[in-house]
Amino acid sequence: MEVIHKDGQSITIRFDKKDLAKIVEPIVQHAESFAKDTLDIAYLLAEQDYRTDDHFKQPPHVFD
């Protein structure tokens, strides 16, 4: 995790893909202990982690 930009109104953070699950999983497992805003961020990070994986599989014989 790297803080890219921070000022009085915003913060920009860069996460490595390998770190996303380490951040998200404990938050989701103990969701009852966290505020809605924290859970919203955790779910957005989880979605980004999923989207960065390559899930596309070429159908067999597509160009036959």
- Split at pLDDT 50, 70, 90, the class of 62 is confident
Residue 8 lies in a domain: no
Number of domains the chain is built from: 1
Three-state secondary structure readout of the chain: CEEEEECCCCEEEECCHHHHHHHHHHHHHCHHHCCHHHHHHHHHHHHHHHHHCCCCCCCCCCCC
pTM for the whole thing? 0.68
Residue with more model confidence, 23 or 63: 23
Domain that holds residue 38: 16-52
Residue 2 lies in a domain: no
- Split at pLDDT 50, 70, 90, the class of 43 is very high
Is 2's pLDDT higher than 80? yes
Residue 46 lies in a domain: yes
Q: Give the model confidence (pLDDT) of 19-34 as tens digits.
A: 888 999 999 999 999 9
Residue 32 lies in a domain: yes
